Amino acid sequence: MLRAVCAEADVRPAPNRFFHSMSTAFEAPDLTRRPPRSPRVRLGGYVLLPRILDKARASLAGRLGEYRYNGQGMDRHFFHFVGLNHESLAHEVSNGGGDGELLAWIQANAKHPRLPWEIAAWSGYHSCRTPDSDHETLTEFADSVRRFSAAREDINTWFDLLDLDDYCTFGGKA
């Protein structure tokens, strides 16, 4: 079902939909028609980063849908880890660079430059991060999973929940 939704995406040119760089031109994702990349997808070893870039591009193109690009939620962990804010990244994204160019910009401008082992440890932690053990957070997580399915016992991490939310939001069945 998700592929059918993606296949039906409108690909006609419209203002602010295309970003250009010296070597490529690409269309900003339309997050009203498909989800951003999974939080598990990595760029430069960072989980979340490709998803954040998708949301930044969609925000600039006016196609963010119900997603948020504001440096909060799950995204805040990335911005805090590297020492950047979402506004400065959005400004750089507006220049039209590809993922590799944006990664190089992040590495050059991060207030907290990270070594590969730090990035791997941080990404590994977030890939497996479960809800905190306080009652309120556990209840919120369980309620969020139940919105999609009362029977799913395999949704244990925040990334599991984001992937399930993305899939169900665009027509998938839990």
Residue 160 CB: number of other CB atoms within 10 A?
A: 18
**172 contacts: CB under 8 Å, gap ≥ 6:** 1, 2
Residues 6+ apart with CB under 8 A from 47: 39, 40, 41, 123, 126, 127, 159
- SS3 for 140? helix
pTM: 0.84
Ordered by start, the domain boundaries in the chain are 2-128, 130-174
Smallest CA-to-CA distance from 93 within 19, 159, 174 is with: 19
| 69, 55 contact by CB (below 8 A) | yes
pLDDT of residue 26: 57
With contact defined as beta carbons under 8 Å apart, do 44 and 118 qualify?
A: no
What tens digit of pLDDT does each residue of 55-85 get? 999 999 999 999 999 989 999 999 999 999 9
User: How does residue 126 score in pLDDT terms, banded at 50, 70 and 90?
Assistant: very high
